[in-house]
Amino acid sequence: MKELDFKTFMAWVEKRNPNQPEFIQAVQEVAASVIPFINKHPKYLRTRVLERMTEPDRAIVFRVAWEDDSGNVQINKGYRVQFNNAIGPYKGGLRFHPSVDMSILKFLGFEQTFKNSLTSLALGGGKGGSDFEPKGKSDREIMRFCQAFMTELFRHIGADIDVPAGDIGVGNKE
């Protein structure tokens, strides 16, 4: 590969991430800035740094089954995108909101990687959450949802692996 072409690179990203407009837009903004630098420094081109930066280490999707106050079982999707742990464990918030999907979380996890790299802390980037809407739910429903969510998520996190934090819809109560 002699040079990285922006249009060719973005076509590759779009093919690998169909129906993920938020993520594609974030990659597009970074790629437009970074590709000229990569083309001037062949070692980054040769090691495919940009391609590696735009592909998460893993993206986990899981079912969250929980019981509402009426005794009905509700089903939500849970996610954790572990984007990059090159300088430390994955770190990024958990978001509970009906708009949460893989595109949103990949976009946020991608940006979280850069945000964390600019601190003096040895932290990678990640993001997670669920399409669960805490608004209008009782404290007990939120508790049951959070317990079910963490029962699925816990096997993928830990102090040296992944450190989730709060974000939209996730605060002290959750």
Token look-up 């739910």 returns 137
Q: Given the residues 77, 127, 137, 173, select the one marked as catalytic.
A: 127
Distance CA(135)–CA(138), nearest Å, equals 9
Give the C-alpha distances (Å, rounded to integers) separating 43 from 16, 49, 86, 167.
24, 9, 18, 37
Report DSSP letters for 66-130, one per residue. EE-TTS-EEEEEEEEEEEE-SSSSEEEEEEE-TT--HHHHHHHHHHHHHHHHTSSS---EEEEEE
Which phi-psi region, left, alpha or beta, contains residue 157 (left: φ > 0; alpha: ψ -120 to 50)? beta
**Residue 19 DSSP class:** T
Contact 54, 96 (CB under 8 A): no
Residue 127 annotated to the active site: yes
Token look-up 């089903």 returns 75
Active site residues: 127
